[in-house]
Amino acid sequence: MNLLRNSEISKKIQRHDRLLLIGTIATIAGLFGSFALVGLSPRFIITAINQYVVTYTPALIVRWTILLLGDAGHYLHIGLSILLGIGLFSVITVTGLYLGIDRDEPLLGGIFSSLFGIGLAYILTGSVVSAIGYGVPVFIVITFAPPEGDPTPDLNRRSTLKAIAGMIGSGGLAAVFGNRTQIKAGNTLSETAAIESQLQLARQRSLDIEGIDPLVSNGFYEVDINSVNPTVQRDKWSLQITGEVEQKREFSFEELRNKPREHRFNTLRCVGDPLNGRKMDNALWTGTPIQPLLEQARPKSGCECVMLRAVDDYYEEFPLEALRQGFLAWGMNGRFLPRRHGYPVRALIPGHWGEINVKWLTEIEILDKEALGFWEKRGWHGTGPVNTVAKLHAVNHLSDGSVEIGGHAYAGLRGIQNVEVSTDGGETWNDAVLSETLPDEDTWRMWRYTFKPSGKQTVVVRAIDGTGTLQPRKRSNAYPSGATGWVQMTVSE
Ligand SMILES: Nc1nc2c(c(=O)[nH]1)N[C@H]1C(S)=C(S)[C@@H](COP(=O)(O)O)O[C@H]1N2
Ligand SMILES: [Mo]
């Protein structure tokens, strides 16, 4: 008697286990289906969930996972998103499965699971295609795989196998078609997670000062030799490594995108930027390091210098050593490069003036002897490392009568160690509050200083770079080697 009951209970448990399993398998089949149609794009269900996970993970944890786990932190997010996705959608599929079995109407179960699944997928992704991609495999599995009302082990096994067959089928479609859409679809899953957490880090570390941009600029200055930007089709675009090399190389956009991918903060400043001008900005760039590509071409020793050329007939020459630390970017703040910033690919050369960060890049020519670049032919000396600068862009009169001043400070790869403020024309100096540094070296910092003015006061700002060198006081114009000097301003109460 006891034995009989036990075996009945265990049969029941077995039945529930099986139904859970089949429901989960159907859900995974559905997720594959979504992937098959939209690939690793923001429209993929898991990508969409990942957005929420990244946004709602407490800032502290995001910072911790990035600092301590690095990329593993991003995988943690992705893993969590996959589990959440399967869990969430399985509630629907399993419910549908039970419904179909209880009513002895498998079709009803299939319709229920797929319709509600499509609804949820659409709410999450905003994409009909992605949602339908999910719904079809779920409908097929839930309609055709449910076990009979009285589950003998044999029938159970058969329905599980059917469900697995469905999952493998849609997994195969995902493998074949999901990848094809990947390039077109925008950022990949890992990119979306990594970029969002980096951008979040920058938001956290920004000082909140009215009137000036946070650590990632809201806009980005633009300097072009032409008034109309080139339009480049990335499928027709390629990058060549030519000149004094053992092996000429050529890379298509797709080939570049499949290289190891990094997200780097990098500040740019134009050599023509006035001392307290606005041609200085920071962004998060996505791309791949140049050095491994150079290695494939094996540059021969010549002048140890290189010429970069672009679609707009722009060209700049500078030391090969600087290029080795460079980066080829196709993404900016989580999107493809805007046309005005060099779509499809631009160079980023850490620590150097903006002008050698060539946009719409097409050729890296290793030179035999020194040559002049576009701006150097016009008298500029803008191919070297940047000068140290501290800008004063915000003067905010607070309600308590004090004045908050602030801005950005930048010294390229030397970094900013300190910003000092004088409110008496340079007699005495005080430390400003600095924003925490960003993970990458070639980035600016924000500074802030608050004081109670009396009458008219002359405020002076100066930066000390990461080597401990005080920014030179001597004033010079931007032409030809970049502006120098301390920014000075009169502030009244
Ligand atoms: N192909 C090309 N690259 C270029 C330029 C250009 O005119 N054409 N301008 C340069 C200059 S002078 C600067 S300061 C930076 C500015 O980059 P941004 O427009 O993305 O801010 O790009 C550099 N790269
Ligand atoms: Mo520039």
Decide if 342 contacts 373 (C-beta within 8 A): no
Of 328, 327, 315, 324, the closest CA to residue 383 belongs to 315
pLDDT value at position 27?
A: 96
pLDDT value at position 153?
A: 62
* Residue 2 scores a pLDDT above 70: no
pLDDT value at position 1?
A: 47
Q: Whose CA is closest to atom 21 on ligand 1? A: 222
Q: Relative to the CA of 230, which ligand 1 atom is closest?
A: 1
The C-alpha atoms of residue 282 and residue 115 are separated, in whole angstroms, by 45
Least confident of 43-47, 55-59, 129-133, 460-464: 55-59
Cis peptide before 385, with omega less than 30 degrees from 0? no
What are the pLDDT digits (tens) for 355-367?
999 999 999 999 9
Ligand 1 within 6 A of 225 CB?
yes
Distance, CA of 14 to chain centre: 46
pLDDT value at position 54?
A: 64
Q: pTM for this structure?
A: 0.67
The C-alpha atoms of residue 16 and residue 26 are separated, in whole angstroms, by 15
pLDDT (mean) for 131-140 = 96
The Å distance, Cα 341 to ligand 1 centre, comes to 7
The Å distance, Cα 379 to ligand 2 centre, comes to 13
Confidence band of 188 (pLDDT split at 50, 70, 90): very low
The Å distance, Cα 172 to ligand 2 centre, comes to 50
Tokens of 308: 């970069």
pLDDT value at position 193?
A: 75
The C-alpha atoms of residue 145 and residue 159 are separated, in whole angstroms, by 5
Ligand 1 within 6 A of 357 CB?
yes
Other Cβ atoms within 10 Å of 274 Cβ, number: 11
pLDDT value at position 103?
A: 87
Other Cβ atoms within 10 Å of 41 Cβ, number: 24
Ligand 1 within 6 A of 221 CB?
yes
Q: Which of 213, 224, 228, 285 best tests ligand 1's pocket when mutated (most atoms within 8 Å of CB)? A: 224
What are the pLDDT digits (tens) for 153-177?
666 778 888 889 999 999 998 888 8
Decide if 349 contacts 329 (C-beta within 8 A): no
pLDDT value at position 282?
A: 98
* Residue 77 scores a pLDDT above 80: no
Decide if 170 contacts 33 (C-beta within 8 A): yes
pLDDT value at position 140?
A: 94
The angle at the Cα of 158, spanning 152 to 161, to the nearest 5 degrees, equals 140
pLDDT (mean) for 448-458 = 95
Decide if 198 contacts 62 (C-beta within 8 A): no
The Å distance, Cα 402 to ligand 2 centre, comes to 37
Max Cα separation, the chain? Answer: 101
Q: Which is more confident, 442 or 105?
A: 442
The Å distance, Cα 50 to ligand 1 centre, comes to 35
pLDDT (mean) for 99-116 = 92
Q: What are phi and psi of 82, to 5 degrees?
A: -65, -45
Please tell me which of 36-45, 315-324, 373-382 the model is most confident about, judged by mean pLDDT: 315-324
The C-alpha atoms of residue 354 and residue 310 are separated, in whole angstroms, by 15
Ligand 1 within 6 A of 220 CB?
yes
The Å distance, Cα 30 to ligand 2 centre, comes to 51
3-state secondary structure the chain: CHHHHHHHHHHHHHHHHHHHHHHHHHHHHHHHHHHHHHCCCCCCHHHHHHHHHHHHCCHHHHHHHHHHHCHHHHHHHHHHHHHHHHHHHHHHHHHHHHHHHHCCCHHHHHHHHHHHHHHHHHHHHCCHHHHHHHHHHHHHHHHHCCCCCCCCHHHHHHHHHHHHHHHHHHHHHHHHHHHHHHCCCCCCHHHHHHHHHHHHHHHHHCCCCCCCCCCCCCCCCCCCCCCCCCCCCCCCCEEEEEECECCCEEEEHHHHHCCCCEEEEEEEECCCCCCCCCCEEEEEEEEEECHHHHHHHCECCCCCEEEEEECCCCEEEEEHHHHHCCEEEEEECCEECCHHHCCCCEEECCCECHHHCCCCEEEEEECCCCCCCCCHHHCCCCCCECCCEECCCEEEECCCCCEEEEEEEECHHHCEEEEEEECCCCCCCEECEECCCCCCCCCCEEEEEEECCCCEEEEEEEEEECCCCECCCCCECCCCCCCECCEEEEEEC
The Å distance, Cα 304 to ligand 1 centre, comes to 23
Q: Whose CA is closest to atom 23 on ligand 1? A: 355
Q: Whose CA is closest to atom 1 on ligand 1? A: 359
The C-alpha atoms of residue 63 and residue 248 are separated, in whole angstroms, by 42
* Residue 283 scores a pLDDT above 50: yes
Of 427, 396, 409, 393, the closest CA to residue 466 belongs to 409
Q: Which of 223, 314, 343 best tests ligand 1's pocket when mutated (most atoms within 8 Å of CB)? A: 223
Q: Which of 213, 335, 340, 355 best tests ligand 1's pocket when mutated (most atoms within 8 Å of CB)? A: 355
Ligand closest to CA 232: 1
The C-alpha atoms of residue 459 and residue 490 are separated, in whole angstroms, by 6
Decide if 367 contacts 244 (C-beta within 8 A): yes
What are the pLDDT digits (tens) for 384-427?
999 999 999 999 999 999 999 999 999 999 999 999 999 999 99
Q: Which is more confident, 63 or 167?
A: 167
Q: Relative to the CA of 312, which ligand 1 atom is closest?
A: 1
* Residue 186 scores a pLDDT above 70: no
Q: Which is more confident, 14 or 264?
A: 264
Ligand 1 within 6 A of 341 CB?
yes
The Å distance, Cα 378 to ligand 2 centre, comes to 12
Mean pLDDT of the chain: 89
pLDDT value at position 15?
A: 75
pLDDT value at position 158?
A: 82
Tokens of 47: 């990508």
Q: Whose CA is closest to atom 18 on ligand 1? A: 222
pLDDT value at position 268?
A: 98
Decide if 280 contacts 391 (C-beta within 8 A): yes
pLDDT value at position 459?
A: 98
What are the pLDDT digits (tens) for 214-235?
999 999 999 888 877 788 889 8
**Can you name the residues that pair with 448 across neighbouring β-strands?**
406, 433
Q: Which of 270, 341, 361 best tests ligand 1's pocket when mutated (most atoms within 8 Å of CB)? A: 270
pLDDT value at position 24?
A: 95
Decide if 386 contacts 351 (C-beta within 8 A): yes
Least confident of 37-41, 322-326, 329-333, 419-423: 37-41
